[in-house]
Structure 1
Amino acid sequence: MSSNKCPFASGSITQSGKSNTDWWPNTLNLDILHQHDRKTNPLGSDFNYREALKQLDFAQLKSDLIALMTDSQPWWPADWGHYGGLMIRMTWHAAGSYRVADGRGGAGTGNLRFSPLNSWPDNTNLDKARRLLWPIKKKYGNKLSWADLIAYAGTIAYESMGLKTYGFAFGREDIWHPEKDTYWGAEKEWLAPSENDNSRYSGERDLENPLAAVMMGLIYVNPEGVDGKPDPQKTAHDVRETFARMAMNDEETVALTAGGHTVGKCHGNGDAAKLGPEPEAADINEQGLGWNHQEGNGLGANAVTSGLEGAWTTNPTQWDNGYFELLLNHEWELKRSPAGAWQWEPVAIKEEDKPLAVDGNGKRNNPIMTDADMAMKVDPEYRKISERFYNDPAYFSEVFARAWFKLTHRDMGPKACYIGPDVPKEDLTWQDPIPAGNTAYDEQAVKAAIAASGLSIAEMVTTAWDSARTFRHSDKRGGANGAHIRLAPANNWQGNEPEKLAKMLSVYQAISDEHNLSVADVIVLAGNVAIEQAATAAGFTANIAFNKGRGDASQDSTDVESFSVLEPVHDGFRNWQQQTFAASPEELLLERAQLLGLTAPEMTVLIGGLRVLGCNYGDSKAGVFTDRIGQLTTDFFVNLTDMRYEWLPTGDNQYVLRDRASKEDAWQATRVDLVFGSNSILRAYAEVYAQDDNGQKFVDDFVSAWSKVMNADRYDLAS
């Protein structure tokens, strides 16, 4: 056998040829719906993290973490003998990847362990923090997820340095595969400046949605300034936009910036060019670690991470008000760090106000500020808040503790997902609080009232769908529980067809009042009634299990601004989009399906069912390939795959199915409809439901997928 010939058949394992998407780049990529397949989970389908977590010794875990903070290891020594700053940065960078526009990112899944986040330039040396935590993860095993441990380590670091934290909740379940289809930006290089053609900016400085960070590879802003050019006022613009996209207001932004920089330091005491590659590119003998110094001396005082060098405060292992003391009471000038990065240093400072060197040699070094820190002094609004915090340290500590809790819990969803002894009792508006609903009512009597209401099948199914489709699996927000569709802003969203919705809600409110159940339960139950009627009309059986107990949110408990980001501006399931987007209609459909937590087969069966039930926006006939509207038939798939028809474009995203023999137009369609016949994978699913023997299977699968969407936000059932 030739020594250079691959020993595996066709070289399929070790030789990389073109992938399908390389050969056919315009093919719809369904990978976003295949993420986190259960086959990637080594714990098995029977493992229940919430149940395992309840056996965790929370007090001992806290004790172990506090001990770890001062147990310095020679392979990665702790600054001043305390790992607090490193652990806080790890937690901050895990949680800080959250963006409010689509709910993706955040600390809720442990995705910091995987690419690309584990190898982002902004996450340099956080691999060391996770390795320092490994003995604790090993000890507690399946009772403690990496996601919870990563979020908890920073919180306990603050406690160990003197901050009274607001609380902490466990309950984050690990993923086991990179979220490779999360859109982090279009750049082809790390830290690409905004003047590049592939920048995420347009106009004056308009950041592309749904992105939050200013560059590929950063968590929020460039510490040296916009595109690495110091200018605190310009940086203030970036900070404000970035933190707003992490769901933070100005006060929370100043608190988090100051609180994050009250402890720890920046590392840039060396030549960054001598660092080895990031973890994903490192040699196999590095065993998952990256950025290792090629000369072996990049430890402790000589570490290089951000490239900036120095601490922000006089006492970097203590929670105090030293950040504002130094920032506001000194003049600052631009200097270069030993690694060549721009940083701000005081023009004049007393020796005793300088922080000690990390290696304990007794030497004191200048404190430093990043361009983002200087923005807290230069920007007028940030300056007011900074002065308020400086003059009231207790208020600063309280605001920071609450903002830190929000940062580390924003993507966890409702309080029903929270577990542990330190869960705060207070309900916060950003948690979208929903009261428990009544369960002591006669379900059959309510179903009878719904059936006698005179509402159509399409109306009932559509209202239930519109109420539930706001759910985002990414951060567990939205959904049918709470019936937010009744309240501002959702009751006026264009995609909810406000006039039709108002009619439906008046009927549902009357049923709610008469039978003493929430409007939220009425909405979902009415959708179920309609589907059961539609199945019966088609000659099939549909018995949909119903979970009582949804509550009705109040207008006072609804943060209108925060809730506005859930507004749908497209919904392929209802064959509607508000405007033209850079992404194709079928790509937008995948986006919504993935946020709903649907698989590709579930997406397929829901499309087929919603079409024949007549649920299109504005009563559009596009994709309604049936003469039996309102019956739960397989007609969508039968007619889509029928070769009697040819498919002809008639305009922007408009098509007709034309009878080949008569030349008469039979049906209207959009790209979202036709992709189920053109894409080879989706066609395979469509053909299953087009078969003569799968009518009841279609109904069963539709009911299963429908119920999944209707109950996606019922975390109260699992607690």
Structure 2
Amino acid sequence: MSANHSVTGCPVHGSVTSDQQGPMAWWPKALNLDILHQHDTKVNPLGKDFNYAEELKKLDVEALKKDIADMLRDSQDWWPADHGYYGGLMARMAWHQAGSYRAMDGRGGGNTGNQRFAPLNSWPDNANLDKARRLLYPIKQKYGNKISWADLILLAGTMGYEAAGLKTYGFAFGREDIWHPEKDTYWGSETEWLAPTGSKGNRWSGDRELENPLSAVMMGLIYINPEGVDGNPDPIKTARDMRITFSRMGMNDEETVALVAGGHTIGKQHGNGNAKEVGAEPEAADIADQGLGWKTDDKSLAKITSGIEGAWTTNPDRWDNEFFKLLFKYEDKFEIVRSPAGAKQWEPSEMDPEDMPADQNDPTIKRKITMNDGDMALIKDPEYRKISERFRDDQAAFDDAFARAWFKLTHRDMGPKSRYHGPLVPQEDLIWQDPIPAPKYVPTEAEISSLKEKILASGLSIGELVATAWDSARTFRQSDYRGGANGARIRLAPQKDWEGNEPARLQKALAVYEKLSAETNVSVADLIVLGGTAAVEKAIKDAGFNVKVPFAAGRGDALQEQTDVESFEYLKPIHDGFRNYQEKHYEPTPEELLLDRAQLLGLTAVEMTVLVGGLRVLGANHGDSKHGVFTDRVGVLTTDFFRNLVDMGNKWEPTGRNSYNIVDRKSGATKFTATRVDLVFGSNSILRAYAELYAQDDAGEKFAQDFANAWVKVMNADRYDLKK
């Protein structure tokens, strides 16, 4: 399914929530910059000098795996294991951590251990996963900082399958924990859990079109409603939701079938009683509950999650092919029944006793298998059915497909393999890892100096050099470590044809770089960044300052066959306030969209400010637009943007939905034009404070240095080799 890039939601868009205090509660329409600082170093107890990669080198991986394997079979009185096996619980915990990923903006996923915090720790779909993390804590306590929660959660889920008999594909360590809720991430505008279609603030519109960038069908779910669309069983309609939501998680049809079936090959569903009798979720629980939620004194209710009750297979603690065999064997006998919790589920009207799983607590009692609407979709949807039939008839194909899909599910937001650590990393390069070959040649300092001169003499303007480097680097997303300048994929499909990259201007620049690359063997990726660096240095020098802009060579050039065109469409720049570009008007304001891109680039509010102000005067606007170019010295890195913005001799007059004139108060003459992105640096009190600083008479050199630092940060955002 191709990416749909209409924007009706972004991480900084939405109403004020109850936990917002201070100015935002009083003025909810004011631009909230908190998302740029949501993981301030002050909240991290490990300190700025902590190096997780170094700690991982001390980890005894085999001892850790053995401890997890022992835990999986060591049933605890305070939370008894289903069928004496915690594998299903651990797999669900890992699935729901990694499954929150969304390909549209790379947010969510398993890379940060954010399931420990609200809202994810209290989502209805994550009910009782707090127990899974408590079961894991003795292991975390033992190994300490040598293993992050993010790694441990996903390893435990992987071990759940390995201990059940699956040959897993591999595992990489390297995920670093966050220490504060990602409360500014946009999970939807609904004001209630599990709000059905048509309710206020719902994420669906038109002909079942899901709001971007969301992937789950309801607030509080990971992907689909197991009872069917809005709780109404209809496998064909559910299949449509599955295809949408799994594609939003970066999965194709085969991966979807493998993950659903494999996810339901071990473990069971829980709905053995009235869910209304279960206590509050962790964030709303009593202080005496010590962070545990969904409390009940009735053991039959203790594990209620989806409300559906029953196991999918005959042996819920064993990796086998029973899911497909039983699904097809009893295809004509499945009927909708109600669970003890009142949920709608599918059960065979009759079953052979040898196919019936034992009761989770009493092995002498036999129960019917239970399927949810998503399971039934695997045989009712024609395309899913073809895949399901193949997996039913070929256990090895199913094993391999699930192992690979599980690895992708749990690793796709880790970025390239250079970020992987540990002895379990598979050798194969996978296309979704966005592989990049090593550079053919890394230039020396003397050669770099010569290359700068050649690039500056090529006929490309300062603005063209800067814009090409920026467009190459701006695709980087710190959410899932995709994109960036390394690989120079800007010269490949689909990026070379994106409107936001100005294809005609881009080809002019690429012609220069490709010719130079052929002559020197230096990668186009390095030359693009070097061209921008040389242009920034010259612009600083022309402003009268001597500030060196560091350049680190060593990038490679990716090949077209190493590039997943469909997947890269999710990185398409449909808005970029740094270059004053929007593909069209969207519901979030341009300044909110600017924050979205700045946060994905890992920028602070100060870095965002200097980059916008600098890129404007360098002439790097999309389409050579004059909006925000508050200077008559284009191509020189001056503070003119800020000086003219805060000059009270000027006034601003709207001329359209997103356009303004800057008018001289005395003469009435229009001096400049602007967009909301430009004006927000004068209207927002925090951003204006920064703008006034850089407008000071003594700020020129500081601005040049701050711009250079922020520029290098963006250019090197994907150079993980520089951060080891």
Give, in angstroms, the shift of residue 542 of structure 1.
2.0
Residue equivalent to 2:358? 356
Residue equivalent to 1:480? 485
Matched, 1:401 2:406: no
Contact preservation (8 Å) 1:521, 1:551? yes
Residue equivalent to 1:502? 507
Residue equivalent to 2:654? 649
Unaligned runs of 5+ in 2: 1-17
Aligned residues, how many?
702
Question: Secondary structure of 1:292's partner?
Answer: coil
- Specify which of 57, 64, 67 is matched with residue 70 of structure 2: 67
User: Which AA in structure 2 matches 1:714?
Assistant: R
Q: Deviations over 1:67-125 (max 9, x none)?
A: 11001111001011110000000000000000000000000000000100000000000
User: Which AA in structure 2 matches 1:328?
Assistant: F
Question: Secondary structure of 2:561's partner?
Answer: coil
Residue equivalent to 2:190? 187
Contact preservation (8 Å) 1:531, 1:542? no
Give, in angstroms, the shift of residue 449 of structure 1.
1.6
CA separation in 2, counterparts of 1:605 and 1:673? Answer: 12
- Specify which of 682, 685, 692 is matched with residue 687 of structure 1: 692
Distance of aligned partners of 1:234 and 1:436 in 2 relative to their CA distance in 1, 3 Å threshold:
same
CA separation in 2, counterparts of 1:338 and 1:519? Answer: 63
Residue equivalent to 1:383? 385
Residue equivalent to 2:250? 247
Give, in angstroms, the shift of residue 298 of structure 1.
4.3
Contact preservation (8 Å) 2:128, 2:303? no
Question: Secondary structure of 1:683's partner?
Answer: helix
Distance of aligned partners of 1:75 and 1:185 in 2 relative to their CA distance in 1, 3 Å threshold:
same
Residue equivalent to 1:6? none
Distance of aligned partners of 1:16 and 1:212 in 2 relative to their CA distance in 1, 3 Å threshold:
closer
Residue equivalent to 1:10? none
Q: Deviations over 1:599-620 (max 9, x none)?
A: 0000000001000001111111
- Specify which of 24, 27, 30 is matched with residue 30 of structure 2: 27
* Structure 1 segments of 4+ aligned residues over 2 angstroms from their partners: 15-19, 295-299, 716-719
Contact preservation (8 Å) 2:216, 2:245? yes
Give, in angstroms, the shift of residue 196 of structure 1.
1.2
Residue equivalent to 1:458? 463
Residue equivalent to 1:323? 323
CA separation in 1, counterparts of 2:310 and 2:648? Answer: 71
Contact preservation (8 Å) 1:292, 1:298? no
Give, in angstroms, the shift of residue 718 of structure 1.
3.1
Contact preservation (8 Å) 1:270, 1:303? no
Q: Deviations over 1:255-308 (max 9, x none)?
A: 000000000000111111111000000011111110011x34247xx6311111
CA separation in 2, counterparts of 1:556 and 1:255? Answer: 25
- Specify which of 81, 84, 102 is matched with residue 84 of structure 2: 81
Q: Deviations over 1:521-542 (max 9, x none)?
A: 0000110000000000000122
Give, in angstroms, the shift of residue 16 of structure 1.
9.3
Matched, 1:346 2:348: yes
Question: Secondary structure of 1:668's partner?
Answer: strand
Residue equivalent to 1:116? 119
Give, in angstroms, the shift of residue 570 of structure 1.
0.7
Give, in angstroms, the shift of residue 197 of structure 1.
3.2
Unaligned runs of 5+ in 1: 1-14
Contact preservation (8 Å) 1:148, 1:171? yes
Give, in angstroms, the shift of residue 716 of structure 1.
2.5
Give, in angstroms, the shift of residue 512 of structure 1.
1.0
User: Which AA in structure 2 matches 1:429?
Assistant: I
Residue equivalent to 1:144? 147
Question: Secondary structure of 1:115's partner?
Answer: coil
Greater Cα offset, 542-551 or 698-707: 542-551
Distance of aligned partners of 1:243 and 1:348 in 2 relative to their CA distance in 1, 3 Å threshold:
same
% identity of equivalent residues: 66
User: Which AA in structure 1 matches 2:92?
Assistant: R
Give, in angstroms, the shift of residue 717 of structure 1.
2.5
Q: Deviations over 1:559-592 (max 9, x none)?
A: 1001111100011000110100000010010000
Residue equivalent to 2:286? 283
User: Which AA in structure 2 matches 1:320?
Assistant: D
- Specify which of 90, 93, 118 is matched with residue 90 of structure 1: 93
Q: Deviations over 1:298-348 (max 9, x none)?
A: 47xx63111111000001000000000110110201110111111100122
Residue equivalent to 1:662? 667
CA separation in 2, counterparts of 1:78 and 1:654? Answer: 62
Give, in angstroms, the shift of residue 445 of structure 1.
2.1
Question: Secondary structure of 1:171's partner?
Answer: coil
Matched, 1:307 2:307: yes
CA separation in 2, counterparts of 1:368 and 1:18? Answer: 46
Give matches, 1:194-343, under 5 Å.
194-293=197-296, 295-298=297-300, 303-330=303-330, 331-343=333-345
Residue equivalent to 2:6? none
Give, in angstroms, the shift of residue 455 of structure 1.
1.3
- Specify which of 521, 537, 542 is matched with residue 542 of structure 2: 537
User: Which AA in structure 2 matches 1:674?
Assistant: L
User: Which AA in structure 1 matches 2:310?
Assistant: G
Which structure carries more relative contact order (alpha carbon 8 Å, separation 6+)? 2
Residue equivalent to 1:559? 564
Residue equivalent to 2:626? 621
Give, in angstroms, the shift of residue 22 of structure 1.
2.2
- The TM-score with structure 2 as length reference comes to 0.96
Distance of aligned partners of 1:476 and 1:80 in 2 relative to their CA distance in 1, 3 Å threshold:
same
Distance of aligned partners of 1:275 and 1:477 in 2 relative to their CA distance in 1, 3 Å threshold:
same
Give, in angstroms, the shift of residue 51 of structure 1.
1.3
Give, in angstroms, the shift of residue 474 of structure 1.
0.5
Give, in angstroms, the shift of residue 19 of structure 1.
3.0
Residue equivalent to 1:696? 701
**What root-mean-square deviation, in Å, do the aligned CA atoms of Structure 1 and Structure 2 show?**
1.2
Q: Deviations over 1:501-552 (max 9, x none)?
A: 0010010011111121100000001100000000000001221111111000
Question: Secondary structure of 1:556's partner?
Answer: helix
CA separation in 2, counterparts of 1:618 and 1:85? Answer: 54
Give, in angstroms, the shift of residue 451 of structure 1.
2.1
Residue equivalent to 1:592? 597
